[in-house]
């Protein structure tokens, strides 16, 4: 790695923000990156003692539960502060950062009882959660969701099947999107579901391209009984809460993608400046230097766009415009980051095809960013609808 690379300080960041950025950088360099090759060899599953260390170091560095309220065990970060940390976490491979104690943003809408039972233990690193939304016939379009909930004397009964439930194999609690049948209407609602309840079955746990610590299983819910208060965001409020979740997740993918490009360009340019072929450094050949230049421009542009969206959210800008612009950031960065990884593998040559090479791991890992939390095609639809409904000026200013 080229250790001469420093964190830029000319983006109008406060001392608090710069300190947080430095702490995150040190954590990634000292804790996460040294574990990458071991995690790859173990298909993402590090020893339990190592995982405990990853959690403890994150808690010591004040990196756990970043966006959650301090009184609940979080850090109370702004979106800009969160961006700065996510960007640094994106510099590491194998999703080792998933072990950092955290919880989905939907818990901000949870009752005090759920905060005590689920969120606080999540932020202490004692348990994990999972968000169950996608189904066989319903991905980014929630109108296709077939999972249902029906009222009972004791609360609600849930039936359905969820696909790609990230961390569903290790979670203690699930947040499940279901349509509540009420007076002839289907009301999209988020339910808190204890994973240990009867009627919950993992029916498939497929392997995927990346070597990550958690799986993405298919989970079936058959007459699963939950209590009357096991709802987040109110009856029928699932869509609005989920939109905020999608916007945040898409912004996070963009932030981490920028970090990935940062690391890729760091390592690959360092290699290109040292490696010689035909009596010259390979950086002196335009076939090497121009792709790196293109990806550097992509990374810089993506960083400015994503940071601006974070600042807009902090300033209280129109949530619909922020949603559109988060889609722009996710689309641009996820596509650019994968191109960057592909270029870097090519520059490393045969070495770039080895799993102990960071470019090879990123090539596999970044591919899914163009798919999950809404494919690139879905992001284009969202942006196009934003143009139609809000106009060019709203999306560019």
Q: Which of 201, 266, 208, 197 is nearest to 25 (CA)?
A: 266
Token pair recorded at residue 32: 């996460």
Is 182 a catalytic site residue? no
CA distance 169 to 315: 38
DSSP at 384:
H
Token pair recorded at residue 273: 């400046």
> What is the distance between the terminal CA atoms of the chain, rounded to a whole angstrom?
37
Which residue out of 17, 40, 86, 249 is catalytically annotated? 249
DSSP secondary structure of 270-318:
HHHHH-EETTEEGGGSHHHHHHHHHHHHHHHHHHHHHHHHHHHHHTT--
CB burial of 107-141 (b: ≥16 within 10 Å; e: otherwise) equals: bbbbeeebbeebbbbbbebebbbbbbbbbeebbbe
β-partners of residue 159 are 148
Let me know: does 163 contact 135? Beta carbons within 8 Å. yes
CA angle, corner 336, sides to 92 and 247, nearest 5? 75
CA distance 359 to 40: 13
Q: Which of 140, 168, 92 is nearest to 366 (CA)?
A: 92
Strands (E), 129-217: 129-132, 148-152, 155-162, 173-182, 185-194, 200-204
CA distance 94 to 46: 10
The number of residues making up the chain comes to 397
Q: Which of 73, 79, 83, 103 is nearest to 24 (CA)?
A: 83
Let me know: does 90 contact 33? Beta carbons within 8 Å. no
CB burial of 171-190 (b: ≥16 within 10 Å; e: otherwise) equals: bebbbbbbbbeeeeebbbbb
Q: Residues with catalytic annotation?
A: 249
């Amino acid at each position: 790695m080229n250790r001469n690379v420093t964190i830029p300080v000319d983006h109008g960041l406060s001392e608090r923000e710069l300190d947080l950025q430095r702490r995150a950088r040190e954590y990634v360099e000292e804790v996460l990156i040294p574990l990458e090759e071991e995690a790859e060899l173990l298909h993402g599953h590090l020893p339990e003692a190592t995982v405990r260390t990853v959690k403890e170091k994150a808690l010591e560095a004040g990196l756990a539960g970043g966006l959650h309220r301090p009184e609940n065990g979080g850090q109370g970060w702004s979106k800009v502060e969160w961006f700065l940390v996510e960007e640094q976490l994106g510099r590491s491979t194998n999703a080792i950062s998933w072990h950092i104690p955290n919880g989905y943003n939907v818990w901000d809408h949870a009752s005090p009882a759920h905060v005590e039972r689920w969120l606080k233990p999540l932020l202490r690193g004692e348990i994990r959660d999972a968000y169950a939304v996608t189904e066989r016939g319903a991905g980014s379009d929630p109108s296709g969701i077939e999972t249902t909930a029906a009222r009972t004397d004791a609360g609600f009964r849930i039936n359905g099947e969820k696909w790609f439930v990230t961390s569903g194999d290790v979670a203690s609690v699930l947040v499940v999107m279901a349509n509540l049948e009420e007076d002839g209407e289907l009301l999209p609602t988020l339910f808190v579901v204890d994973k240990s309840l009867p009627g919950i079955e993992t029916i498939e746990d497929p392997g995927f391209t990346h070597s990550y610590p958690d799986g993405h299983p298919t989970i079936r819910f058959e007459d699963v009984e939950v209590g009357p208060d096991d709802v987040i965001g109110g009856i029928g409020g699932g869509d609005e809460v989920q939109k905020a979740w999608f916007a945040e997740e898409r912004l996070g993918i963009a932030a981490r993608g920028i970090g990935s490009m940062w690391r890729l360009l760091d390592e690959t340019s360092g290699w290109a400046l040292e490696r010689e072929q035909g009596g010259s450094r390979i950086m002196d050949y335009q076939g090497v230097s121009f792709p790196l230049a293109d990806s550097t421009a992509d990374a810089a542009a993506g960083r400015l766009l994503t940071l601006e969206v974070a600042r807009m959210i902090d300033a209280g800008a129109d949530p619909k415009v922020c949603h559109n612009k988060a889609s722009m950031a996710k689309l641009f960065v996820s596509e650019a980051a994968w191109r960057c990884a592909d270029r870097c593998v090519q520059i490393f040559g045969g070495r770039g095809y080895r799993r102990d090479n960071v470019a090879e791991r990123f090539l596999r890992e970044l591919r899914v960013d163009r798919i999950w939390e809404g494919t690139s095609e879905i992001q284009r639809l969202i942006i196009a609808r934003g143009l139609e409904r809000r106009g060019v000026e709203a999306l560019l200013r």
